[in-house]
Copies of this chain bind each other. A is one copy, B any other.
Amino acid sequence: MQNPLPLIALLASEAPLRAKPSLYPEPFASRVSGREKRVLGNLFELNNFGVNLTRLAPHAISALRHAHTKQDEFVYILEGCPTLKTDQGNTQLAPGMCAGFKAGTGDAHQLVNETAEDVVYLEVGDRTLGDAANYPDDDLKAELDKGHWKFLHKDGTPY
């Protein structure tokens, strides 16, 4: 059997939804309901970074507010007006705006859809080994272990 031909291009909104809506353990997974991720980079077998097309229904959040130790992140807003929450406070975003979150600064971030319209954005993050994520507002920390995220209480006990 021959390998299928590699994918050349596709309409991002037609990419399949990520099989598992959230990687978080409960009670955190329920807090990201209303968030849909379409995994784009993996469709092209990219390894060094991931790209998702993410949709937030009204009131949905991108993630728990977090900061990565090794992974740079970048978002570009395609539709809607999410609120970016960082240690500096709230910043209103709009289509065509972008933001970057440099690894290791400790400044945690999240997008929150506080509007009545959906928000759609592209998110990019690299896959540097040894990454970890800190969640200043929640009893949670995460460690990347052999390509899989391990979620722990702040005292190190696993969920």
Contacts and interface: CB of A to CB of B under 8 A. Distances in A.
A17 to B, nearest CB: 16
A8 B86 CA distance: 9
Given A44-B100, A45-B102, 4 more contacts: A9-B84, A46-B102, A48-B126, A48-B128
Interface stretch (A25-33, A71-79, A132-140): A71-79
A23 interface: no
Contacts of A86: 8
Interface residues of A, number: 43
A47 interface: yes
Given A8-B86, A76-B12, A98 B48 contact: no
Given A49-B49, A74-B51, A122-B122, A100 B41 contact: yes
Given A49-B48, A51-B74, A43 B8 contact: no
A48 B71 contact: yes
28 contacts: A5-B88, A6-B105, A7-B100, A8-B88, A9-B91, A9-B97, A9-B98, A9-B99, A10-B98, A10-B99, A11-B96, A11-B97, A12-B76, A41-B72, A41-B74, A44-B99, A44-B101, A46-B72, A48-B49, A48-B71, A48-B72, A49-B49, A49-B72, A49-B124, A49-B126, A51-B74, A122-B122, A124-B124
